[in-house]
Chain A
Amino acid sequence: MKIMLNDREEEFREEQMSISEMLELKKFSFRMRIIKINDILIAKDKYDSTIIHDGDKVNMLYLMSGG
């Protein structure tokens, strides 16, 4: 499937995957992040149960301490 990840097209062999699976596949390691799928924020306790589908727009941002 193809998704738009932070405005860039990304292709995966999987036909669908959970957010947690995507984070693992992409080896994204930072702990504090925000993820939105099709402009809807997904709470961090829903990463295992939320499925990303072909054509989804996924936005992710990392939160770094400091302010």
Chain B
Amino acid sequence: MRFSEIKTHLRKFRVGIAGAGGLGSNCAVALAKCGVGTLVISDFDTIEESNLNRQYYFTDQIGMLKTIALKENVARTNPEVFVIIYQKRLDSHNIPEIFSGCNVIVEAFDSAEMKQMLIETVQLKMAGIPVVAASGLAGWGKSEAIKQRKIDDTLYICGDESSEASEDLPTLAPRVGIVANMQANIVVEILMKMK
């Protein structure tokens, strides 16, 4: 299949991205480059200098809302992508509204509590919508430990499922980028199978 055909197919779909940090920003850019039609991105944070070790933002964007900066960065890489943004703290009540109509949802949070909340909410309240989550990506090296695991048709997990982020084991661009792109890769795979 040619890229022009892939792009035409992917243009029909809408992908939700919960969080616009290291995972969300890198995943959004990868999906935009492939030509996914619509991205729905939700985050309430602003860009800090410390984010630039892994997140897809630039020094002149420090202080901006991540959603606004990411919309700008997506437009700079592929202006054909339609980007809908929400400055919301996501919870079990607003997730079904914000991501309604999405064909796939990417879990792109930093905290384990939020990851669990999002997966639970989508699985319980948005039956049938696949979630592509990430767990275990802190530190460096050990690329071979990073895997993807399909639990069933509606739940996928990417990461080593063991490296927890901490002060002594920070998240860094290479492993976060691997996992974010792995998530994007699964999203593309799911969408390519959809009619």
Give the number of chain A interface residues (Cβ < 8 Å): 17
The proximity string for A residues 39-67 relative to B, scoring 1 for CB distances below 8 Å and 0 otherwise, is: 10101100000000000000101111111
The answer to whether the Cβ of A5 comes within 8 Å of any Cβ in the partner chain is no
With contacts A36-B152, A61-B161 known, is A41 near B119, CB below 8 A?
Answer: yes
User: Does the CB pair A66–B164 fall under 8 Å?
Assistant: yes
User: Does the CB pair B124–A41 fall under 8 Å?
Assistant: yes
Cβ-defined partner of A43 (8 Å) among B109, B115, B120, B157: B120
What total count of A-B pairs have CB within 8 Å?
A: 84
The answer to whether the Cβ of B39 comes within 8 Å of any Cβ in the partner chain is no
Which residues of A are found within 8 Å of B149, using beta-carbon distances? 61
In residues 103-154 of chain B, which contact A (Cβ within 8 Å)? 108-113, 115-116, 119-120, 123-124, 133-138, 149, 151-152, 154
Minimum CB–CB distance from B129 to chain A (whole Å) comes to 12
User: Does the CB pair A36–B155 fall under 8 Å?
Assistant: yes
Residues of B at under 8 Å CB distance from A?
19, 21-24, 108-113, 115-116, 119-120, 123-124, 133-138, 149, 151-152, 154-155, 157, 159, 161-165, 171, 176
Residues of A at under 8 Å CB distance from B?
31-34, 36, 39, 41, 43-44, 59, 61-67
Closest 10 CB pairs of A and B: A66-B165, A32-B112, A41-B123, A66-B138, A64-B164, A63-B112, A67-B23, A67-B110, A63-B115, A64-B136
